């Protein structure tokens, strides 16, 4: 008998290539402002954006503060006073068109849909995530899609996971696995909610956090071996987060 019945998937940089979508949306936004996007500008944006989303994950600020101030903070560094909310609207329209799939994502989800209950668990803006998932072809495959904006909470908050669990029929934490690329939201949140966790780490980053996933994979198709054999030694992590 298989251990897992329910699989919870993150979206950005797990199923959809958010990095590529973000880069193109930024390029078009800067082009709109008459400025070519440089590597330095992109790096600066990511630093500001990461800091704001981290504060959001920690419950220190709300989503509106993240999305309505990141561009005003960014352009301020280049001597421009802009309407952050207005630029956010433009950026969002460009980002919604970014639905490039992570390698192997569609094949994996399509294969698993008749064997497992599949759900999306993602932080972000509902309209954006909905449009990207529909354009990718993934949307109709999932039994439910839970976006932080709709729930009123965000990963890794316990309240977010409580909201999700309450809306999954016959939910069992012991039979559920969460898969995502973020240690601080997917893996930490899943662990705190009592779930087994699978860290999707395609870039083979070093885990320098005190968050240990149950499993670690570098390619999405490696998930097959885990769900077919949960004691698969090649993907189990020990208490240092290193492969056994």
Note the pLDDT tens digit of each residue in 192-211: 999 999 999 999 999 988 99
Q: Which CATH number fits domain 6-16+100-228: 3.40.50.1000, 3.10.20.810, 3.40.50.10470, 3.90.650.10?
A: 3.40.50.1000
**pTM of the predicted model, to two decimals?**
0.88
Mean pLDDT computed over 141-167? 97
Residues 6 or more apart whose CB falls under 8 angstroms from that of 222 comprise: 235
Residue-level pLDDT at 129: 97
- Catalytic-role residue among 10, 12, 181, 186: 10
10 is catalytic: yes
CATH class of 19-95: mainly alpha
Residue-level pLDDT at 237: 67
Cα(143)–Cα(145) distance, rounded to whole angstroms?
Answer: 7
pLDDT at 29 over 70: yes
Mind giving me the DSSP string for 90-156?
A: HHHHHHTT--PBPTTHHHHHHHHTTTSEEEEEE-S-HHHHHHHHHHHT-GGG-SEEEEHHHHT--TT
Percent of the chain exceeding pLDDT 90 equals: 82
For residue 210, whether the previous peptide bond is cis, meaning omega lies within 30 degrees of 0, is no
Residue ranges covered by each domain of the chain:
6-16+100-228, 19-95
Task: Find the radius of gyration of the CA atoms of the chain.
Answer: 18
What stretch of H or E contains 25? Answer: helix 18-32
Question: Residue 53: which pLDDT band, with cuts at 50, 70 and 90?
Answer: confident
Mean pLDDT computed over 162-178? 98
């Amino acid at each position: 008998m298989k251990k897992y019945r329910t699989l919870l998937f993150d979206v950005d940089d797990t199923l959809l290539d958010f990095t590529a979508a973000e880069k193109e949306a930024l390029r078009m936004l800067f082009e709109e402002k008459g400025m070519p996007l440089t590597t330095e500008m992109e790096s600066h944006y990511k630093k500001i954006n990461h800091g704001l989303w981290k504060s959001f994950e920690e419950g220190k600020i709300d989503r509106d503060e993240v999305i309505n101030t990141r561009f005003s903070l960014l352009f301020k560094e280049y001597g421009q006073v802009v309407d952050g909310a207005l630029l956010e609207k433009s950026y969002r329209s460009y980002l919604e068109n970014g639905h490039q799939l992570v390698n192997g994502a569609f094949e994996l989800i399509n294969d698993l849909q008749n064997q497992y209950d599949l759900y999306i668990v993602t932080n972000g803006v509902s309209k954006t995530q909905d449009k990207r998932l529909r354009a990718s072809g993934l949307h109709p495959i999932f039994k439910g899609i839970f976006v932080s904006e709709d729930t009123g909470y965000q990963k890794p908050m316990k309240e977010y996971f409580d909201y999700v669990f309450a809306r999954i029929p016959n939910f069992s934490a012991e039979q559920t696995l969460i898969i995502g690329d973020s240690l601080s939201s997917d893996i930490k949140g899943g662990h705190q909610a009592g779930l087994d966790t699978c860290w999707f780490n395609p870039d083979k980053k070093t885990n320098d956090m005190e968050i240990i996933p149950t499993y670690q994979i570098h390619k999405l198709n490696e998930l097959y071996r885990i769900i077919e054999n949960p004691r698969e030694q090649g993907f189990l992590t020990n208490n240092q987060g290193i492969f056994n």
